[in-house]
Amino acid sequence: MSHDESPAVEATEATDIDAVIVGAGFSGLYMLHRLRELGLSVRVYEKGNGVGGTWYWNRYPGARCDSESHIYCYSFSDDILDEWEWSERYPEQPEILEYLQFAADHLELRRDIEFNTEITGAEFDEASETWTVATDDGERVSSQFFISAVGCLSEPFLPDFDGLDDFEGEWYHTARWPESVDLEGKRVGVIGTGSTGIQLIPEVAERAGHLSVLQRTPNYAVPARNRPLNDEEYEEIRENYDEIWSEARDSRLGMPFDTEHNSARQLSEEEIHEALEKRWQQGGFRFLHAFEPGHTLSNAETNEIVSEFIRDKIREKVDDPDDAESLVPTSHPYGAKRPPMDYNGYYETYNRDDVRLVDVDDAPITTFTADGIQTETDHYDLDVVIFATGFDAMTGALLELDIQGRDGLSISEKWNAGPRTYLGLGISGFPNLFTITGPQSPSVLTNMPMAIEQHVEWITDCIEHMQREGYQTIEPTEESESQWVSQTNMLADNMLFSEAESWYRGANVPGKEQVFTPFPGGLDMYRDICDRVAEDDYDGFELRRASDAPVAEQ
Ligand code: NA7
């Protein structure tokens, strides 16, 4: 095996603690809380200068969570649930950030978080069976456990456009949005029409003098139907929280929404249309529950009915027939890419005189110039360009940490043919490394806080078990990892995900290995599997006592 010989961490004396956590978003904060409750000494490193993770960085106009606010939060603390009140059906970025700040204060978490600090490397030392973690301010920490809470959509993806350095205007990536950007009266170009672009575009149209949207692939935006939450509604939510959480935990998507019809197979055309229209009026991810979501995402015939329903809605909303056809997605089935939500008249935005749709699939961008963007056919004069071009999703931020396991093997070397984990939680060859919402866990296919709580609680129970039984390390076997990767791929192959060039498959980043990355079997199935693994003495993991032969190979 040939590895990068350079050490991830320079050898100088390190401070000893029990656990290092990377990231102070939803995952890192809860992980810190739970491990502190176990009595562990824990330090969180966070590169931002505050808590919030995703919601710290994504401050672009219109940034909002597509999960409903009353379920996009921690369920574990009655105090937090009682004291916090969301103002709208879907939470806006500043409110989520405020919520996470509130939770961090409530749980007194900040004293164990080092802000403005990046991890520059982490190395497993086989002699001491501990991790040595280095930071960009020269600190070195030695810890038994190393836990990644870096999130799935944290490493922005910026396409490598020619001439960007020559562009004399301003440009911003949505995931690195500065405190304030003045778009008033300016000629703005937006590249990207994913979930982010669709939230952003109507807001930019309101502020800019003129907006050009450079679209490569049209998308299926379903109305979110956002609105303020009133007191009675909130009262009802509070009274029913036990039921809400228990249904959410036991559901495929981590959302407590019923489906009336499992499939469209037994329904007449009229009944299908009625079911879809009802869910269209309800809005958001409830639309995905017109039929059982797993069915819509795996049955091509049903999916085509659903897709065509949305296409007709788009045609109704857009006045110019050419623009309407350009906005209608035909190259992939609904849901094969992450379904975006429309909050504020996305399609109607194209009916404005000061908004122009530019098809960069027909005539791709060739270069940036000093004054704007040149495509194969035209030049667009622009003062500001906004990149809503997404993320090196699922693996990008984790690989940035430069983690080296046994024999100096790095995760990027191990994953040269795509990510390999067991349960999305552990990696063979990397003892005591836990990856919250890691590749091959349900994560982005679910309501994230539900997935995060499941992971954090599982990891906490595992560490408690290790302490109780006197184990020093835990590590998946290669065999269990291979089986898990195969199981994830097999489930994905039975669905329609391969029919889109999506970030779920790494297809958005040139040169990235194309492997379907989230676990597509649903949070309910996944939770059962994880529970069984734990009940079965951590089946598929190898547990060792300090400097000992393995004591339990399952
Ligand atoms: P996405 O969903 O990856 O969308 C990125 C968009 O940028 C998409 O429309 C891409 O077109 C477009 N793109 C990327 N590269 C280019 C180039 N080179 N030229 C033109 N257009 C390009 O990212 P989002 O931020 O919208 O969403 C990510 C997740 O964040 C979202 O699902 C939520 O969970 C939150 P393409 O479709 O590849 O043709």
CA of 226 to the centre of ligand 1 (A): 23
Q: Which atom of ligand 1 is nearest to the CA of 161?
A: 18
Q: Whose CA is nearest to atom 23 of ligand 1?
A: 390
Cβ(34)–Cβ(18) below 8 Å:
no
Pocket perturbation via mutation, ligand 1, pick of 200, 216, 342 by most ligand atoms within 8 A of CB: 216
CA of 331 to the centre of ligand 1 (A): 15
Q: Whose CA is nearest to atom 33 of ligand 1?
A: 195
Q: Whose CA is nearest to atom 20 of ligand 1?
A: 216
Please indicate whether residue 363, judged by its CB atom, sits closer than 6 Å to ligand 1. Answer: no
CA distance linking residue 233 with residue 163, whole number of Å: 52
- Which domains, and CATH codes, for the chain? 3-51+109-155+393-544 (3.50.50.60)
DSSP letter (8 states) at residue 156: B
Q: Taking the CB of residue 2, how many other CB atoms lie within 10 A of it? A: 5
Q: Whose CA is nearest to atom 10 of ligand 1?
A: 192
CA distance linking residue 83 with residue 102, whole number of Å: 10
CA of 500 to the centre of ligand 1 (A): 12
Please indicate whether residue 441, judged by its CB atom, sits closer than 6 Å to ligand 1. Answer: no
CA distance linking residue 442 with residue 84, whole number of Å: 27
133: part of which helix (H) or strand (E)?
Answer: strand 130-135
Pocket perturbation via mutation, ligand 1, pick of 55, 367, 389 by most ligand atoms within 8 A of CB: 389
Q: What tens-digit pLDDT sequence spans the chain (554 residues)?
A: 334 445 566 555 667 999 999 999 999 999 999 999 999 999 999 999 999 999 999 999 999 999 999 999 999 999 999 999 999 999 999 999 999 999 999 999 999 999 999 999 999 999 999 999 999 999 999 999 999 999 999 999 999 999 999 999 999 999 999 988 999 999 999 999 999 999 999 999 999 999 999 999 999 999 999 999 999 999 999 999 999 999 999 999 999 998 888 888 889 989 999 999 999 999 999 999 999 998 999 999 999 999 999 999 999 999 999 999 999 999 999 999 999 999 999 999 999 999 999 999 999 999 999 999 999 999 999 999 999 999 999 999 999 999 999 999 999 999 999 999 999 999 999 999 999 999 999 999 999 999 999 999 999 999 999 999 999 999 999 999 999 999 999 999 999 999 999 999 999 999 999 999 999 999 999 999 999 999 999 999 999 998 765 555 44
Please indicate whether residue 550, judged by its CB atom, sits closer than 6 Å to ligand 1. Answer: no
Q: Which atom of ligand 1 is nearest to the CA of 175?
A: 25
CA of 336 to the centre of ligand 1 (A): 13
CA distance linking residue 103 with residue 10, whole number of Å: 36
Helix ranges restricted to H, 357-515? 396-400, 411-414, 448-469, 478-493
CA distance linking residue 208 with residue 170, whole number of Å: 13
CA distance linking residue 226 with residue 464, whole number of Å: 42
Please indicate whether residue 62, judged by its CB atom, sits closer than 6 Å to ligand 1. Answer: no
Please indicate whether residue 191, judged by its CB atom, sits closer than 6 Å to ligand 1. Answer: yes
Phi, psi of 434 (to 5 degrees): -115, 140
223: part of which helix (H) or strand (E)?
Answer: strand 222-223
CA distance linking residue 261 with residue 275, whole number of Å: 8
Pocket perturbation via mutation, ligand 1, pick of 154, 177, 195, 358 by most ligand atoms within 8 A of CB: 195
Question: pTM of the prediction?
Answer: 0.95
Please indicate whether residue 388, judged by its CB atom, sits closer than 6 Å to ligand 1. Answer: yes
Phi, psi of 16 (to 5 degrees): -95, 130
419: closest CA among 473, 474, 492? 492
CA of 426 to the centre of ligand 1 (A): 29
Cβ(101)–Cβ(50) below 8 Å:
yes
